[in-house]
Copies of this chain bind each other. A is one copy, B any other.
Amino acid sequence: MAATAAQLCDVGYLNMTIEGVAARAGVGKSTIYRWWPSKAALVVETLKSRSMLSPIELTGDSRADLRAVIASTFQIVTHSPAGMILPALAVDLIRDPAAHEQLHALLRPRRESVLTVIRTIAARGDLPADVDAGLLLDIYSGTLLYRVLLSGEPVTESIIDQLTDLLLSGTAPHILLML
Contact = CB atoms under 8 A, between A and B. Distances in A.
A138 B146 contact: yes
A14 B92 contact: yes
17 contacts: A86-B150, A87-B91, A91-B91, A104-B150, A104-B152, A127-B172, A130-B175, A134-B153, A135-B153, A135-B162, A136-B173, A139-B143, A141-B146, A141-B151, A142-B144, A142-B145, A168-B172
Contacts of A166: 139, 166, 170
Contacts of A111: 152
A87 B142 CA distance: 12
* A-B residue pairs, 5 tightest by C-beta: A142-B146, A104-B152, A142-B142, A170-B170, A142-B143
Contact of A145 (B130, B136, B145): B145
B152 A135 contact: no
Interface of A: 12, 14, 84, 86-88, 90-92, 94-95, 101, 103-104, 107-108, 111, 127-128, 130-132, 134-139, 141-147, 149-153, 159, 162-163, 166-176
Q: Which of A84, A90, A139, A145 has the most CB of B within 10 A?
A: A139
Main secondary structure of the interface of A (DSSP, over half): helix
Copies of this chain, tallied across the complex: 4
Contacts of A142: 139, 141-147, 151
Contacts of A144: 142
Contacts of A134: 151, 153
A170 B171 contact: yes
